[in-house]
Amino acid sequence: MNNNALSQPERSKRDFLKILFSGGLIALVGSVLYPIFAYLKPPKQSEVEVSSVKVGKLKDIENESGQIIKFGSKPVILIRTTQGDLRAFSATCTHLDCTVQYRKDMGMIWCACHNGKYDLTGRNVSGPPPRPLTEFRVVVQGEDVFVSKTS
Ligand code: FES
């Protein structure tokens, strides 16, 4: 029997059953696959809170230098000035989050993305950065240098 031979009420009843069956099939497949994908997806892990990082030995950090260190998952720039002072700031630009670098030739902290400039106190002095860099504390214990959060 072909569909053309069915009367209008029979055809609509058949279409309704097809839709109902298709929906049930989709729900069944979803109810089987969802727990499998939920099991395979790795759980979210909370970030470990870091409060202090040992950077290295004081004798290994040259005057007029800057280096990026990892502070947990975030970059921090450690600078040793011409006078030998140690300073540390968040190395994430306050404009659009590029990583900044120390420019010995400029005597500044520089962001290559949009030519943003910060002085050696972390203050934004030129370019698009809207705020200063967050300052970190630098502590020297014996020969070891540590960087920690200020608060
Ligand atoms: S991201 Fe640093 S100046 Fe734009």
Of residues 8 and 97, more confidence is placed in 97
Place of tokens 């099939």: 25
At residue 88's C-alpha, the angle toward residues 86 and 91, to 5°, is 145
Q: Quick check: CB of 114 below 6 Å from ligand 1?
A: yes
Give residue 144 CA to ligand 1 midpoint distance, Å. 32
Q: For position 128, what pLDDT does the model report? A: 97
**Position in ligand 1 atom list of the atom nearest CA 93:** 2
List, for residues 28-73, the tens digit of each pLDDT value. 999 999 999 988 988 887 777 889 999 999 999 999 999 999 998 8
Strands (E), 26-104: 52-57, 65-71, 74-80, 86-90, 101-103
Find the largest Cα–Cα distance for the chain. 98
Give the confidence band of 3 by pLDDT, cuts at 50, 70, 90: low
List, for residues 84-109, the tens digit of each pLDDT value. 999 999 999 999 999 999 999 999 99
Q: Quick check: CB of 78 below 6 Å from ligand 1?
A: no
Give residue 82 CA to ligand 1 midpoint distance, Å. 26
